[in-house]
């Protein structure tokens, strides 16, 4: 019995003094690559099916969105997608899909070049007739609700290069979304748009900055499969100087009061 105890003590002592071997440089490298790959994959997965950030590069959605606004887009607004399924073709949906509502601000692949992302407001749904008469948008023969406002708040935030125009501002109700649109009273070129009918599974979109927006009036309808998601909030806002100089030169503008603003 004493011999057994002695042997057991000896074995325990020997086991406790075993020094673990250090991983080789190759093993460390492989481990780091695996960790890095997992992080990248997780980020891409998150952006593919949940939320994706975008930066606003142009003024087509002023005053709702300003140049330099960083926005968050809900990728599952219209249903959960199979991860990465919309990278090379129309997305495959796991749930739904539900359809965009009138007034939603959506990010979509530009129909004429899928490598470009555009952001506009949904104005016309499948089957709607859309026309513009004297800068007033008519949906199925009914004009959008417009209430003229002074626009002082909108002008204060606006990028310098747009402040020289003769804008008129309207509180607008598009579907259930209340927002502000603006028109340039000196611009006669976009006053009218002939009546069109929105095809099935397509949408007619417009920018809130009506006279400075290339949208469905110029390049047609947006197929549902092109829509990436709905813009929901501004998470940062920083405007850089306008690079071409002249009257349009502006200084760096950080807009902290826009951070956290919901997009209606």
Instruction: Cite the active site residues.
Output: 60, 120
Helix (H, G, I), strand (E, B) or coil at 117: strand
The DSSP H or E segment spanning 116 is none
Contact yes or no for 262/64 (Cβ under 8 A): no
Q: What is the DSSP string of 95-108?
A: S-PPPPPTT-EEEE
Side-chain-side CA neighbours of residue 220 (13 Å): 10
The alpha carbon of residue 217 and the mean position of all alpha carbons in its chain are separated, in whole angstroms, by: 21
What CA–CA distance (Å, rounded) separates 121 from 206?
5
Q: Is 2 exposed, middle or buried (0-12, 13-18, 19+ CB in 10 A)?
A: exposed
Q: Is 155 exposed, middle or buried (0-12, 13-18, 19+ CB in 10 A)?
A: middle
Cis peptide before 152 (omega within 30 of 0): no
What CA–CA distance (Å, rounded) separates 135 from 75?
32
CA triple 225-227-232, angle to 5 deg: 155
């Amino acid at each position: 019995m004493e011999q057994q105890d002695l042997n057991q003590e000896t074995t325990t002592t020997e086991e406790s003094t075993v020094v673990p071997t250090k991983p080789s440089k190759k093993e460390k490298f492989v481990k780091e690559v695996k960790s890095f790959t997992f992080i990248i994959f997780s980020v891409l997965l998150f952006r593919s099916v949940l939320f994706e950030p975008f930066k606003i590069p142009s003024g087509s959605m002023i005053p709702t969105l300003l140049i330099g606004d960083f926005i968050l887009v809900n990728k599952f607004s219209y249903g959960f997608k199979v991860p990465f399924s919309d990278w090379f073709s129309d997305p495959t949906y796991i749930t739904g899909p539900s359809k965009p509502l009138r007034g939603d601000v959506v990010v979509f692949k530009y129909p004429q070049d899928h490598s470009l992302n555009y952001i506009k407001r949904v104005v016309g749904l499948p089957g709607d007739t859309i026309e513009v008469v004297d800068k007033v948008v008519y949906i199925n023969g009914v004009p959008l609700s417009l209430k003229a406002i002074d626009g002082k708040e909108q002008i204060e935030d606006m990028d310098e290069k747009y402040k020289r125009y003769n804008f008129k501002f309207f509180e607008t109700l598009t579907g259930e979304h209340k927002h502000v649109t603006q028109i340039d009273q000196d611009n006669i070129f976009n006053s009218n748009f002939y009546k069109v009918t929105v095809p099935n599974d397509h949408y007619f979109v417009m920018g809130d900055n009506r006279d400075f927006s290339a949208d469905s009036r110029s390049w047609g309808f947006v197929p549902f499969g092109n829509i990436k998601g709905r813009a929901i909030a501004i998470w940062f806002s920083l405007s850089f100087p306008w690079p071409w100089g002249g009257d349009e030169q502006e200084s760096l503008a950080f807009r902290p009061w826009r951070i956290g603003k919901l997009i209606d």
